[in-house]
């Protein structure tokens, strides 16, 4: 999964650069769907270590944590949400389903 997440980080970084150069508002955003709760947390940690603002969203999180993650993502404060379940989406540049085949 590391190679896939590395590609996600590169795409988000490139999209953010395009937004900055073109004077666009908002950050690049995407969703990484994972099979397990633990995978969502690991994926989010991996991306944060590479400078990508990310959070996770799964049933094991409190309602307040899920609401905060979605609000931060919707407002453009974080680039990527790593999730086990679908939630309300806005325009996104990237959706990744894990694990890799």
Strand ranges inside the chain, DSSP E? 30-33, 54-57, 80-83, 94-97
Would you say residue 17 has pLDDT above 90? no
Q: CA 35, CA 74: separation in Å to the nearest integer?
A: 23
CA–CA separation, 83 and 28 (whole Å): 17
pLDDT tens per residue across span 26-77: 567 888 888 889 999 999 999 999 999 999 999 899 999 999 998 998 888 8
Assess contact for 9 and 53: CB atoms under 8 A: no
The yes-or-no verdict on residue 101 having pLDDT over 90 is no
pLDDT computed for residue 8 by the predictor: 86
pTM of the model: 0.78
Domains of the chain: 2-15+26-97 (3.40.50.300)
């Amino acid at each position: 999964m590391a190679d896939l997440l590395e590609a996600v980080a590169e795409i988000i970084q490139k999209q953010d650069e395009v937004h900055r150069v073109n004077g666009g508002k908002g950050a690049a955003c995407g969703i990484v769907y994972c099979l397990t709760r633990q995978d969502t947390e690991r994926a989010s940690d991996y991306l944060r270590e590479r400078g990508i603002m990310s959070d996770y969203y799964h049933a094991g999180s409190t309602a307040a944590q899920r609401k905060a993650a979605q609000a931060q993502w919707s407002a453009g404060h974080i680039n990527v949400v790593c999730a086990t379940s679908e939630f309300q989406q806005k325009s996104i540049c990237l959706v990744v389903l894990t694990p890799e085949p």
